[in-house]
Chains A and B, each alone.
Chain A
């Protein structure tokens, strides 16, 4: 827990970090609390539609079916955030583990892992994702596993690269000379030094995965209507964009702000950890 507090303090030390982190927290709180604070039912249709733009009753206006856009936007991040949070955790865990193992063991195992990574990176993942969803459905667990798997591939490379910098250090050699086992060396000597890179990477992965999830919803493969979701809302109302921009703009702002918030947090984190070399003190 000490580590988390240390990271948080680092993020909050810069102004951009403070802004980014508050945006992320706002979205997380909204995702948890929205069912209790939304003004309307998410699929309730207005009885009289005389004015689809923002009004006193409907602050962000109504969508094509007369549903309250603000309500749907407030609820629309729940599924996306849930799936991508678990997905990111999965991606960083398995990617990190195999990456460190490949970097530490080297030789044939490293070759095997890295060539498999190359093969997977050559597959157009969006099409592959669609294939998986078409065969196994779009349940949350399917989404978590497929997104988690695909986004872990890049983590393998990164974790391996970070590990290669550490394995040559004398303290790893010292641990081996002391007679420590492979897992002990990985968890005691290597992981603490690769941790920072992985933390920043998980934040970046999370924002990319959010975009990917919204893209899938946009294409109609993410969540099932009438569940509110940002990507789906944008897709459904986009043809009316010139007439009624609100149902597209509001979820778009919600999605973009979350991604900007995550990126600002990740940048602040990287800077406080010294991974961003430009901000180091000269001596």
Chain B
């Protein structure tokens, strides 16, 4: 094992809890990485993967410390190094590529200054050659017109370009190990595909090892040869990409893979029941971390901590490996049921054009035409139909949604709800009945639920606002709403912070349902959620649709989710419709080049 580049042994990281016991965030992790190898760490948010990644650099967030174990990188322990040695190590022999390059680059300095800083610290090159070296590095990360990029400020670059600059900066010190913390998460699918392709090339061209952290197993499997699945601070299964993806053993890995929607899949993805245990909330440290959610769980799983075992070319940490291997844990998925939409049109949009510009009166009189963000948008949604709007960021899909919701005024065109309400009016001038019939669900339930309100207060507000119910009737209504979204009635008194991400999104959906709407506008409502809960939200939406003939306008950049959920789909690019039609037809047989490039970028 001595020739391994990085080795992590029995690493436990945690903080002292309020009752004096240590609370582990990362628990008993063993990993080794050979020079030039690539390892992906996959897990849901909060599973400790970023903490582990930072620990490799010898960095622990305030309050966190290493409780046990060791990290060895090229024979040294980064956690034990003095400050000046760390300075040479970080950015030199190992470099971090952060999640949000836009925030990682200093906004007030030109790219040149920031690249030169990296070179002056970590590259043994005379200052006269810095410029040439930068251009060389930029060519390596396939940045167009490297000379020009150097003179720009970070905000003058696109998200993909910023990420490339960050990668170039990390490569400046010719590191032996690259640490990547979700480097493509904020990017569009097509940009993501380009960045991943670049990372693959870098790994192939040079002998640079990588540790890649992501919640997206699709991303990981394109770049990494080794994959480690993390759950609640522990590595539950580890093996080569082929082995793990084709024959997962650990019940969590099996569940995780089954919960991911794929393009052209005939069945619904399946959610994992329950939620990730909070650090410190587990009763005792004994037992399997996955016991609460495991379909195979037996009594001794709760009492006996499983050992990591070598089995079928992988390491797996499960008490019931034999059972997990022999049984097919994943029930056959539900068939996607298509509902024949009714004839009534719920929403009709004709020739919609939106502009964020507000020309002054003077310019208006001179006949100045504002630049339109979206133009010539026409579509209709029938009763019980789910329409998907897809496209990259900046394609205008959220603009259309906001306009329908009345939060943005249209510049031209008509929007009609149920042939009677004019939705071109802003929300302030809409009639109460009209407000009630259109409801909105947001991307991130952490932001869309007021943290100071109980679930009951959140749910009763729309009921009070739109209906003249008696006090008792409101109470019953809140209970009924919670039941409809499969949440226990006991959640009424809880605050949003006491719920998991998926449960919060259910509350947000229940709030929309409270108005008994005809149309629900969904703005990327699954993209902030972990895959294991995303599937359950998709299922919920489909059930609700068939129960009460709801119509949905579903905005998403995730094509697999859109294909699973939507009847009709519209592909947008630069504010214009590129392709529209039945979801199955568009995705199986795309006509427009842009649709094809979007589909090709899906992992």
Contact = CB atoms under 8 A, between A and B. Distances in A.
Contacts of A283: 15, 25, 46, 61, 64, 279
Interface stretch (A33-41, A152-160, A168-176, A249-257): A168-176
A13 B449 CA distance: 28
B63 A177 contact: no
B435 interface: yes
B451 interface: yes
A174 B15 contact: no
B407 interface: yes
Interface string A168-200: 011101101111100000001100110100000
Interface stretch (B106-114, B188-196, B285-293, B440-448): B440-448
B417 interface: no
B435 A192 contact: no
Contacts of B450: 171, 188-189, 192-193
Contacts of A177: 405-407, 427, 440
Q: Most chain-A CB neighbours within 10 Å: which of B405, B432, B449, B461?
A: B461
Contacts of B15: 281-283
A276 to B, nearest CB: 13
B430 interface: yes
Contact of A188 (B25, B428, B461): B461
B284 interface: no
Contacts of B451: 193
A178 B435 contact: yes
Nearest to A190: B450
B335 to A, nearest CB: 34
B440 A174 contact: yes
Contacts of B511: 174
A283 B13 CA distance: 12
Nearest to B441: A174
B62 interface: yes
B170 to A, nearest CB: 26
A283 B439 CA distance: 34
B453 interface: yes
A227 B25 CA distance: 62
Contacts of B439: 178
B452 interface: yes
A15 B72 CA distance: 42
Nearest to A179: B435
B121 interface: no
Interface in B55-83: 61-64
Contacts of A189: 450
A197 to B, nearest CB: 13
A244 B405 CA distance: 75
Given A176-B427, A177-B427, A179-B427, A170 B61 contact: no
B442 A174 contact: yes
A176 to B, nearest CB: 6
A6 B279 CA distance: 25
B465 interface: yes
A179 B405 CA distance: 11
Contacts of B406: 177
Nearest to B523: A170
A171 B448 contact: yes
Given A169-B448, A170-B448, A192-B453, 8 more contacts: A170-B443, A171-B447, A174-B440, A174-B442, A179-B427, A179-B435, A282-B15, A282-B62
8 contacts: A173-B442, A177-B440, A178-B515, A179-B428, A179-B432, A189-B450, A281-B15, A283-B25
B462 interface: yes
A169 B450 CA distance: 9
Contact of A174 (B25, B62, B448): B448
A169 B453 CA distance: 14
What 10 A-B pairs are tightest by C-beta distance, nearest first? A282-B63, A192-B452, A170-B448, A179-B435, A170-B447, A170-B442, A171-B450, A282-B64, A177-B440, A282-B61
A76 to B, nearest CB: 40
Contacts of A195: 452
